[in-house]
Amino acid sequence: MSKKLSATTAGSLPKPKWLAEPEKLWPQWKIKKEDLWEGQKKSVLQWIQVQESAGLDIITEGEQFRIHFVHGFLQKIKGISWNQKTKMGIRNNRYTVEVPTVTEAIIRPEIIHLKEAEFLRKNTKKKTKFTLPGPMTICDTIANNYYQTREEMAFAFAQILNIEAKALEKAGIDIIQFDEPAFNSFNQETINWGVKALETAIEGLKCKTAVHVCYGYGIKENINWKQTLGDQWLEYKTIFPSINDSNINQVSLEFSGSKVSPELMLLLPDKEIMVGVVTVVSDVIETAEEVENNILSALKFVDRERLIPSSNCGMAPLSIEIAIAKLKALGNGTQLINNRN
């Protein structure tokens, strides 16, 4: 009998409008500080129920405790000035924003996401996944006014991430995923030191480890950039061999609704692959049969034992109603595949 496929999400899920500004990548909290923890937990419980009801087997907390997938981690790191803002080009100058600045050696005074991971683990019997920002992507989202090079700063963050990840593993998290959208913008740096920094972040972990590499969503600059990439998106072709040679266990990539050629999955013969079979770029809801067909297309290039159906990216910019419908389609489409054997 063939292996049962286990579906999951790439990471973020929409925050309810009573908790934060809806359908935004950088929302503001709408709840009093003293009530925030209880509100966040309430939202996580709702999303756990949604994921389980949709038939997903690997559950996340949907990043409900974080305002942003990178800065939610950085806010408790010492050595970063949030008052000293620096105008900086992001994703190889795809867009420019003012970001916090590293002004001295970074220090992690405590485990940042421990309570959140423990809460997730306590409230589901299924496998769990927790996302963290990757070292290169952190360095592409914050200015450097202390370290000699961006590479040096990346390895400093990688060491902090490694301590964090080990604590999350100890809390019972089954898969720790590092989000590295910057890999697609800095192909040569990814090969030179980005993957090595990632390996530093996962060193010594016994749980499954994953890296999510996407093309970006949620803002017009990302959409406009993708329109310049031609009929085929080939960034994966450059970086996948280095990722395949690394110690990372899983790779999360875009597929459905993108211009990523499925043949590129052949460059990851030694990895489990989280294949994006549900898009997050539009409000169009896939049918279960469409998800099934997307999985079947991926199975032409990935062994069933290594395939994990997923979303292309996080769903934070979507409405809650659309996200729930897409999760149901993801679960139902995966079940159609499982029913075949």
Q: If you write DSSP's letter for every residue of 157-168 in order, what string do you get?
A: HHHHHHHHHHHH
Please state, in angstroms and rounded to a whole number, the distance separating the CA atoms of residues 199 and 298.
27
Nearest to 70 by CA among 12, 17, 14, 128: 12
Q: Where are the beta strands (DSSP E) in 108-201?
A: 127-133, 143-144, 175-179
N-term to C-term CA, the chain: 6
Nearest to 280 by CA among 25, 36, 68, 19: 25
| Cα dihedral 15, 16, 20, 26 in deg (nearest 10) | 30
In the structure encoding, which two tokens stand for residue 93, read together?
């100058």
Cα separations in angstroms, 103 against 69, 84, 100, 132, 230: 22, 9, 9, 22, 39
Please state, in angstroms and rounded to a whole number, the distance separating the CA atoms of residues 76 and 191.
29
Cα separations in angstroms, 82 against 9, 55, 90, 139, 211: 31, 41, 17, 15, 27
In the chain the domains, ranked by start, together with CATH numbers, are 33-338 (3.20.20.210)
DSSP-derived 3-state class of residue 278? strand
pLDDT at 235: 84
Query: Tens of pLDDT along 148-172?
Result: 999 999 999 999 999 999 999 999 9
Q: Cβ(337)–Cβ(297) under 8 Å?
A: no
Please state, in angstroms and rounded to a whole number, the distance separating the CA atoms of residues 29 and 26.
10
Beta-ladder partners of 90: 95
Question: Of how many residues is the chain composed?
Answer: 341
Query: Tens of pLDDT along 133-147?
Result: 999 999 999 999 999
pLDDT at 341: 67
pLDDT at 68: 85
pLDDT at 1: 60
Helix (DSSP H) and strand (DSSP E) numbers for the chain: 11, 10
Q: Which residues of the chain have pLDDT under 70?
A: 1, 218-219, 222, 226, 341
Identify residue 221 by its one-letter amino acid code: E
Q: Cβ(81)–Cβ(50) under 8 Å?
A: no
| Cα dihedral 274, 279, 285, 288 in deg (nearest 10) | -30
Identify residue 312 by its one-letter amino acid code: N
DSSP-derived 3-state class of residue 183? helix
pLDDT at 197: 98
**Kind and range of the H or E run holding 58:** strand 58-59
Neighbours of 251 (CB within 10 A): 27
